[in-house]
A and B are shown apart, each in its own frame.
Chain A
Amino acid sequence: MRFDSFQFAVFFPIVVALFWSIPQRLRWVLLLVSSYYFYMCWRPPYAILLVVITAIDFCVGRALGRVNGAAARRAILAVSILANLSILFVFKYYPFVANTLNGWQQSTLFPNLAIVLPIGLSFHTFQSMGYMFDVYRRKTEPERHWGTFATYIVFFPQLVAGPIERAGEMLPQLHHYKNFEYKRATNGLKLMAWGLFKKVVVADRLATLVDPVYGNTDAYSAPMLVLATVAFGYQIYCDFSGYTDIAIGSAEVMGIRLRPNFRAPYHATSVQEFWTRWHMSLSTWFRDYVYIPLGGNRVSPWRWAVNILIVFALSGIWHGANWTFVLWGLYHGVLMIGERAGRSLVAAVSRRADPEPSRARWRAVRVVATFALVTAGWVLFRAPSVGAAQTIFAKVTTDWESFLTLERVLQELARLKWQPIDMVVTLLAIAVVEMGDTLQSYGSVRGWLSQRPFAVRWGAYYALLLFIMFFGHFSGQPFIYFQF
């Protein structure tokens, strides 16, 4: 069930109305049933996977709570990790591994299994594994109530595309539901509307440009490839953050707080800072459960660099079973290493260039540079294959002449049926998103809006909703992160 579908528009109000009508002790039942229904709207038999993961991890968690011996606890944890990663491997990585090995050996030793990837598998697997690690480390008490634990795993707002929640933050909320609060509920709805705006006005509209270009990279000019890549950067940001906003907003309506996942990532002044602003729940997960156990930055520089590459390679693999994702992850790892190595050099250069550096000017340069580096990485993320990515890079770096005129780009846009109105609407919408992100960095926009006079508040709400109605692209485009 998509968040921008008619089905969800019917489903959500019913769930919310029931949620606030039934006794608190029964709310976990409602959330559990509705979350399974939400998941089963996609492919009913795959709900069995959720049941299996939930059952294994619940039992493992309880066992970890009872067992004290280090070796025994490690063995029990290994059971959970093995189970979760096995499921992840079979459904997500086996076809990739089989194709790669068959290719190397030029054989068909590994059969090709036609398995459909369960939606949101990576997300709820990592959420479950995070719980296991926290229980193992005794950071969290094992959950005793199977219903509450199952609800934690399958809670529908964040089930299929995050944010990846921590047990210590979410389980207490599922034990002690809050009372209805008007301000929280309205804030949740505002966030949902904002997320919908980002998704249908920006992301889905940009998809009509990005998908055909990346589907046939040979047929487009270098400037068009650059434009499509920049467009993809905003498409994936607005798509994913839009989804997250709807997820967080819908949970907030029910009085449940989810962790933020984005914080104006394209305003980052370095790649390191970018990763503290982009998909924060995943990056903190890798930090806490992979990077720090590997030693973090309390190791030699060489060891640190290896750790970074491992973490980012895993992050890339998490996104998808394709060499392009691995390369994308490694690319960011190399950038992180390069940034740290070049930090003192950059500081020296900047002082030499401008003895009294204008903070704003220097910040702007860094933001643009970071944006360019991240955008270059999106080529690897979006390209269907390494070969296609190579084609793009080769064209962009060699076909300089095509950047001198706009004519070909305009022709290619016309071929994609992009009218001037599409460009105006998209640029305006992106400007609104960037303005929203900028204002949010100064303070809560929703909080500020709620203190304005009635006419201003409702004028803003109506303006947003009318913009969505008139300019939203309701093509049924799936959320990008559903495929992960």
Chain B
Amino acid sequence: MPQFVFKLSLLLPLLAGMVWVNWSVDPAILMIEHRDDPTRHPYENIIARDLLAGRTHRLKSIQLELVVDELVYRGRPQIDTLVLGTSIAKPIHAGLFGGPNFFNASVTGGRIEEMIMAYQLALDCGLKPRHVLIEVDSRSLSPRDGMPDSKLLRRALGRLNLPVETKRDSIWHLMWLAVEPGEDTAGAAKAQRPIYPYDELISPRYFQFTIAFLAKQWMARGDKPRELVSQFGEANESLLYPDGSLEWWDNAVARTPESIRQKFAQVQAGSLAGLQDRPVAEKYRMYEAFVGDMVRSGVDVQFMLLPPNPWIFEEARQAALRAGKELPSVETERAIRSIAAKFKVPVRGSLDPRHVGVTEADYIDDVHLRREAIERIFDRHR
């Protein structure tokens, strides 16, 4: 038996070799540890190169915006004004603030966690923003399904003395999930693999994918860079400016209030724009800790409240009235204003479109304002 085990161990170099190749190359960036590594994201590097060179970039594919942010931070000696928010804040541009050292680090689909990470990245890159604008919308304080699994976030939350609530199953639970008998039609593997993506390290399929990737790279060496192929089509490519702000794609800009109403007619209004989501204490505490930390560091913080489409808002408000309840976004705005009052932070705008003077024509969908509408809101609330 010892001889058998020893001879089996002679096969370990094969396994180790496969693991090493899969781990070190990881072309699909499956491993969580590699997701924050900017060197592994070629498209994001292309975007950042354009922005740092002062060029506009047409977005041809989905990108990891935090990776772009980090690459820009590393290339800029100073950023005085930083915008943190979601895609709603993307059209906020340098012209609204004056000064060259402006950057919009908003993250599409992001929440307070992404804002904290974007700010932490700036600190990690040695930048000390003097002004930070935080965009707030109806979803800002509502609960979120699962936190991003990121070392950066854990570090940032740790710095703010906030609990790290990344959901991780215990090793025992993962082991049980791995061995639990279950539906396995004709022997096919279970859809949910508890130790994914780490089982891909010993996956011959991923190994072959990696080798093919390396082979293509080797064969393409010396070739001039190929033009990027758009995944969206030209009419659906947004324009990213060197200051990090965005101009929406042509098809979105062409939308009319009627076409937007038609598009969302089947969806219950309140479920859009996060108007049914009640704020939760956990998110309130995160905003409080985040803003408080920046204020204590001498950063000039401002809140920018951007409302949803007035049509959506009115439908949700009427539905809330009929139910005899308060619209959750009213509670959200109240909470944000209380944080602002506590730290003496100015608040611009409102989550109620009636107070901001916007119309349906100012929107490209349920929540996203046109660039010129945001400019008008800024002018109105200077």
Contact = CB atoms under 8 A, between A and B. Distances in A.
A40 interface: yes
B4 interface: yes
Nearest to A36: B181
Contacts of A2: 187-189
Interface string A32-55: 000001001111100000000000
Contact of A40 (B18, B181, B190, B202): B181
A474 B208 CA distance: 10
A110 interface: no
A193 B89 CA distance: 57
A182 B3 contact: yes
A49 to B, nearest CB: 15
A474 B203 contact: yes
A474 B204 contact: yes
A5 interface: yes
A472 B205 CA distance: 8
B171 to A, nearest CB: 15
Contact of A42 (B1, B186, B199): B186
B189 A6 contact: yes
Contacts of A466: 14
A478 B182 contact: no
Interface string B160-201: 000000000000000000110111111111100100000100
B207 A182 contact: no
B181 A41 contact: yes
Interface residues of B, number: 30
Contact of B186 (A462, A474, A483): A483
B188 A472 contact: no
B204 to A, nearest CB: 5
Given A40-B181, A44-B181, A182-B4, A1 B14 contact: no
Contacts of A294: none
Contacts, number: 80
B4 A186 contact: yes
B211 interface: yes
B182 A20 contact: no
B204 A482 contact: no
Given A2-B189, A5-B187, A482-B187, A465 B14 contact: yes
Given A1-B184, A2-B189, A479-B187, A472 B199 contact: no
Give the interface SS of chain A, mostly helix, strand, loop or mixed.
helix
Nearest to B193: A6
Given A458-B10, A470-B208, A44 B182 contact: yes
Given A469-B207, A470-B208, A474-B205, A5 B4 contact: no
A100 interface: no
A256 to B, nearest CB: 17
B7 interface: yes
Interface in B195-224: 199, 202-205, 207-208, 211
A6 B10 contact: no
Interface in A158-196: 160, 180, 182, 185-186, 189
Contacts of B207: 469-470
Contacts of A458: 10
A119 B186 contact: yes
Interface in B279-302: none
Contact of B184 (A6, A42, A470, A475): A42
B14 to A, nearest CB: 6
Given A465-B11, A474-B205, A7 B186 contact: no
A468 interface: yes
A120 B183 CA distance: 16
User: Which has the most chain A C-beta neighbours within 10 Å: B7, B178, B186?
Assistant: B186
A482 B186 contact: yes
A469 B204 contact: yes
B211 A470 contact: yes
Contacts of B1: 20, 180, 182
27 contacts: A2-B188, A6-B189, A6-B199, A7-B178, A7-B189, A7-B190, A10-B178, A37-B179, A41-B181, A41-B184, A42-B183, A43-B184, A119-B186, A119-B187, A160-B187, A186-B4, A186-B7, A189-B8, A461-B11, A462-B14, A469-B204, A469-B208, A470-B207, A472-B208, A474-B205, A476-B188, A476-B189
Interface of A: 1-2, 5-7, 9-10, 20, 37, 40-44, 116, 119, 160, 180, 182, 185-186, 189, 200, 458, 461-462, 465-466, 468-472, 474-476, 478-479, 482-483
Nearest 10 CB-CB pairings of A with B: A40-B181, A2-B187, A478-B186, A474-B205, A42-B184, A41-B184, A41-B181, A469-B204, A478-B187, A44-B181
